[in-house]
């Protein structure tokens, strides 16, 4: 602890006593448990700076695991501004998944992982033209469900498989366990699970769960990979799952020095296998753990905090916890009962305008958020806002990487990186138009399924005159597609060049600009700007970050190209909102799900549709988690 009155460095100056104790604690294992708005993010950020500045730990020997990419980026920014040097770029900071990927591309060959593996996105982000796309977890599952003629919902199966994986239950293990129960539904899952794993292997894909599972395997076999790590810090610890606990221990195996920061009352990802038992497990596995609690809330008025605490205190098994607001009491939160969703939408819009008007310019739309239990509730709300002329953005709505032109360019990049990427080819084979419509595409797909080849191979066979796909104008289509294949092959030879150059070549060589211009005469410039933004993003992506510090261990350097790294990077960014949308938030109201609002704050927050069936949700299995969800929503509010 520093002496009172000492001239404090910037990273310690703005801390209260408990925060200071947490930031400077010499404990080898430290858990900081604290309620919302108590400065947990501030503590973890300042602790990293403290470790680098005062404890003189090399940043490349520190791992920080965050819950989202967005949180990682924000933390990097804050650390950078406090350190004012280039040091933080050496920090290994990111989500568990991103960090695992980084290690697996460097050392995965030690566990017989193909070095050029791709990551299967959790979400289906690629529009499939005729067939489901091949490289997202959900689309692979959809395809298998169709094949085995099951009635199961792909989303439910995906969640179930993910849950099994997070609990270390392999397909074979699950199937063996089933022999005893003989449940038909579970038998379907077992079958899909097994086929799904086979598909992933066949396409050299790892899904998000595999990244963690394979990393555990790597570190069990080769703990030297993290032999340099001196400190592991975990943010949002209450939402880690069992495999992440194992990972944390393995990452810290060299020194067993760990800091975790979290709030059990904000554990809202149980449905995605987060396990609150990890809090107890830490104390059991690391007896020397020091616990520090933060009891001052800097975010919300006393009245908001009081209401929120009255709610969370209804959970009977919850240990009592103290949290006081540092802000005056303020007005009590408004509880409004409305007839139905439509009148709620109308009332909300009127109330929002009333608040903005009443406060003059003090509160603008950008200071207001409407937090929903599920995104599907937004329809009437959007109608109400639309009628009242209130500008809004959907957090996690139409994101940068979901825009058509970005998806097109990304598909071209993926095709160049790997011509056997069927979903990429499906997306761009007829963009710009090459006279290759749906019926020809169907024939191509049938052809490739019959001969078990990739679409690319079938396409080349068509161009070579070995197969027929169309009646009239066959020669013309063949020649147009021949030019397309040559363009891609030409671009393939450039794989190794900088990504922004590659993008420029794609736009030029495929005449994509002309295509955009013809298709969107009024706003093609905006779309070109988006592509420019992607180029800039590629420049900025700091791909060097994939290089881990040299710790004298043989690592894989073959088979890696800037393009492969860039694509993998992006597939791990599903929670990142595009830059321009993010910064355009000023003056624009935010609609978000409660889950996506984790860690954020606004002066004014509305939480509509609080009724049985919505929250608690009709399909929710854990009522306590539903209560915590409402608690998270309420504690995002600063003033009203
Ligand atoms: N010592 C402090 N003095 C003044 N403001 C503070 C202090 N600590 C934190 N804050 C402010 O309180 C707010 C909440 O802090 P922070 O986001 O770090 O809390 P948190 O515990 O991570 O919240 P949550 O659990 O809800 O995500 C921020 O606006 C932060 O700047």
Instruction: Point out the ligand 1 atom lying closest to the alpha carbon of residue 263.
Output: 25
> Is 2 within the bounds of a domain?
no
What HEC string does 304-361 produce? HHHHHHHHHCCCCCCCCCCCEECCCCCCCCCCCCCCCHHHHHHHHHHHHHHHHHHCCC
- Closest by CA position to 565, among listed 172, 102, 234: 102
Catalytic residue among 19, 31, 41, 68: 41
Q: Is residue 236 annotated as part of the catalytic site, yes or no? A: yes
Number of domains in the chain: 4
- Quote the CA–CA distance of 471 and 611 in Å, as a whole number: 59
Q: Which domain holds residue 589?
A: 324-399+580-635
Cβ(264) – ligand 1 distance below 6 Å: no
Q: Is residue 507 part of a domain?
A: yes
- The pLDDT mean for the chain works out to 84
Last residue of a domain, one of 156, 180, 203: 203
Inform me whether the pLDDT recorded for 287 exceeds 90.
Answer: yes
Dihedral of the alpha carbons of 253, 11, 19, 22, in degrees to the nearest 10: 20
For the beta sheet containing 258-262, the strands, ordered from the edge strand earlier in sequence to the opposite edge, are 92-95, 62-66, 231-234, 258-262, 29-34, 290-294
Q: Is 562 within a domain? A: no
* Annotated binding residue 40: yes
Is residue 223 one of the residues assigned to a domain? Answer: yes
End-to-end CA distance of the chain: 37
Q: Write down the residue that tokens 């959809």 correspond to.
A: 142
Instruction: Reply yes or no on whether the pLDDT at 593 is more than 90.
Output: no
Which of 22, 32, 42, 599 has most ligand 1 atoms within 8 Å of its beta carbon, as the pocket-test mutant?
42
Among residues 165, 239, 151, the alpha carbon closest in space to that of 196 is found at 165
- Read off the pLDDT of each residue in 507-515 and give the average, rounded to a whole number: 94
Q: Is the CB of 299 under 6 A from ligand 1?
A: yes
**Cβ atoms of 502 and 413 closer than 8 Å:** yes
Give pLDDT, residue 607: 97
* Contact in structure between 105 and 91 (CB atoms under 8 Å): no
Is residue 69 assigned to a domain? yes
Radius of gyration of the chain (CA): 26
Q: Are residues 375 and 243 in the same domain?
A: no
Buried b (16+ CB within 10 A) or exposed e, 312-325: beebeeeeebebeb
d(C-alpha 448, C-alpha 459), whole Å: 9
Residues 433 and 288 in one domain: no
Q: β-strand 392-394 against 589-593: which pairing, if any?
A: parallel
540 is catalytic: no
* More confidently predicted of 165 and 313: 313
The answer to pTM > 0.90 is no
Which residue, judged by its Cα, is nearest atom 18 of ligand 1? 39
Tell me how crowded residue 394 is: count the other CB atoms within 10 A of its CB: 18
432 and 513 belong to one structural domain: yes
Q: Give tens-digit pLDDT for 522-578.
A: 667 778 877 887 887 787 665 445 567 777 777 776 666 788 888 877 777 644 433
Q: What is the pLDDT of residue 629?
A: 96
CB of 204 closer than 6 A to ligand 1?
Answer: no
Q: Judge if 415 and 530 occupy the same domain.
A: yes
Whether 130 and 219 map to the same domain: the answer is no
* Ligand 1 atom at shortest distance from the alpha carbon of 598: 27
Q: Judge whether 235 counts as a catalytic residue.
A: yes
Assigned domain for 112 exists:
no
Please name every residue paired with 262 in a beta bridge, in sequence order, or none if there are none. 33
Q: Last residue of a domain, which of 156, 176, 203?
A: 203
Residues 6+ apart with CB under 8 A from 101: 119, 211, 568, 572
Beta strands in 44-199 (DSSP E): 62-66, 92-95, 118-119
Pocket flag, ligand 1, residue 37 (CB < 6 Å) = yes
Residue 8: pLDDT band by 50, 70, 90 thresholds?
A: confident
- Taking the C-alpha atoms of residue 412 and residue 502, their distance in angstroms, rounded to an integer, is 10
* Mean pLDDT of all residues in 82-92: 78
Q: How far is the CA of 601 from the centre of ligand 1 (A)?
A: 10
In the structure, what pLDDT confidence band is assigned to residue 37 with cuts at 50, 70 and 90? very high
Rounded to the nearest 10 degrees, the angle between the axes of helix 524-540 and helix 499-509 is: 150
Same domain, 102 and 39: yes
State the sign of the Cα–Cα–Cα–Cα dihedral 438, 443, 444, 448. positive
CATH number of the domain enclosing 468 = 1.10.486.10
Query: Which residues make Cβ contacts (< 8 Å) with residue 512, sequence separation at least 6?
Result: 408, 409, 431, 432, 506
**361 and 337 in a common domain:** yes
Note whether residue 172 is domain-resident.
Answer: yes
- Expressed in angstroms and rounded, the spacing between residue 263 Cα and the centre of ligand 1 is 13
CATH number at residue 57: 3.40.50.300
- 391 plus 405 within the same structural domain: no
Write down which residue in 542, 569, 594 finishes a domain. Answer: 542
**Whether 591 contacts 378, CB under 8 Å:** yes
Q: What is the pLDDT of residues 143-163, one digit of tens each?
A: 888 888 777 777 778 888 888
Reported as type and span, the H/E element at residue 96 is: helix 96-107
Residue 440 pLDDT grade (very low, low, confident, very high; cuts 50, 70, 90) = confident
**Alpha-carbon gap, residue 403 to 394, rounded angstroms:** 14
Higher pLDDT, 613 or 394: 613
pLDDT band at 596 (very low <50, low <70, confident <90, very high): confident
Mark whether 635 is an active-site residue.
Answer: no
Atom of ligand 1 nearest to the CA of 19: 1
Whether residue 333 is found in the same domain as residue 476 = no
Answer yes or no: do 372 and 406 share one domain: no
């Amino acid at each position: 602890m520093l002496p009172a009155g000492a001239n404090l460095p910037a990273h310690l100056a703005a801390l209260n006593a408990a925060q200071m104790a947490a930031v400077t604690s010499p404990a080898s294992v430290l858990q900081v448990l604290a309620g919302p708005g108590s400065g947990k993010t501030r503590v973890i950020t300042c602790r990293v700076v403290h470790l680098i500045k005062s404890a003189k730990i090399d940043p490349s020997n520190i791992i920080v695991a965050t819950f989202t990419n967005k949180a990682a980026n924000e933390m990097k920014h804050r650390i950078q501004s406090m350190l004012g040097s280039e040091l933080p770029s050496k920090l290994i900071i990111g989500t568990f998944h991103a960090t695992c990927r980084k290690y697996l591309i460097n050392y995965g060959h030690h566990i017989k992982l193909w070095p050029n593996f791709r990551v299967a996105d959790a979400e289906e982000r690629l529009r499939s033209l005729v067939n489901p796309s091949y490289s997202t977890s959900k689309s692979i599952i959809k395809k298998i469900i169709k094949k085995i003629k099951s009635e199961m919902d792909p989303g439910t199966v995906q969640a179930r498989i993910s849950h099994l994986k997070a609990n270390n239950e392999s397909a074979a293990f699950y199937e063996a366990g089933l022999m005893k129960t003989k449940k038909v539904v579970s038998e379907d899952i077992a079958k899909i699970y097994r086929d799904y794993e086979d598909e992933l292997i066949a396409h050299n894909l790892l899904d998000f769960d595999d990244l963690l599972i394979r990393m555990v395997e790597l570190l069990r076999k080769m703990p030297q990979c993290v032999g340099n790590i001196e400190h592991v810090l975990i943010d949002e610890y209450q939402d880690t799952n069992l495999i992440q606990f194992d990972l944390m221990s393995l990452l810290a195996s060299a020194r067993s020095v760990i800091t975790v920061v979290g709030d059990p009352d904000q554990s809202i990802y149980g449905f995605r296998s987060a396990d609150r038992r990890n809090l107890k497990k830490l104390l059991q596995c690391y007896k020397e753990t020091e616990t520090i609690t933060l009891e001052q809330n800097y975010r919300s008025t006393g009245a908001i905090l009081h209401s929120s605490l009255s709610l969370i205190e209804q959970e009977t098994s919850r240990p009592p916890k103290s949290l006081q607001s540092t802000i005056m009491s303020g007005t009590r939160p408004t509880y409004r009962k409305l007839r139905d969703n439509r009148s709620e939408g109308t009332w909300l819009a009127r109330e929002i305008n009333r608040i903005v008007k009443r406060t003059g310019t003090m509160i603008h739309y950008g200071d207001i958020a409407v937090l929903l239990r599920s995104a599907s509730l937004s329809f009437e709300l959007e109608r109400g806002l639309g009628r009242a002329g209130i500008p809004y953005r959907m957090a996690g709505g139409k994101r940068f990487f979901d825009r058509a032109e970005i998806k097109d360019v990304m598909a071209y990049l993926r095709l160049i990186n790997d011509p056997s990427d069927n979903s990429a080819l499906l997306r761009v084979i007829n963009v710009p138009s090459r006279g290759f419509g749906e019926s020809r595409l169907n024939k191509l797909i049938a052809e490739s399924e019959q001969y078990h080849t990739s679409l690319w191979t079938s396409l080349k066979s068509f161009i070579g005159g070995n197969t027929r796909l169309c009646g009239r104008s066959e020669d013309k289509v063949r020649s147009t597609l021949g030019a397309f294949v040559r363009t891609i092959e030409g671009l393939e030879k450039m794989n190794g060049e900088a990504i922004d150059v590659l993008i420029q070549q794609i736009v030029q060589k495929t005449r994509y600009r002309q295509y955009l211009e013809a298709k969107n005469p009024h706003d093609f410039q905006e779309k070109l700007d988006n592509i420019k933004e992607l180029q800039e993003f590629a420049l900025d992506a700091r791909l060097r970050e994939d290089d881990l510090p040299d710790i004298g261990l043989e690592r894989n350097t073959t088979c890696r190209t800037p393009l492969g790294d860039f694509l993998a990077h992006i597939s791990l960014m599903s929670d990142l909102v595009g830059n321009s949308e993010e910064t355009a938030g000023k003056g624009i109201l935010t609609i978000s799900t409660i889950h996506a609002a984790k860690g954020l704050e606004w002066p004014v927050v509305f939480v509509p549709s609080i009724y049985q069936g919505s929250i608690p949700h009709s399909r929710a299995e854990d009522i306590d988690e539903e209560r915590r969800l409402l608690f998270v929503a309420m504690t995002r509010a600063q003033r009203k």
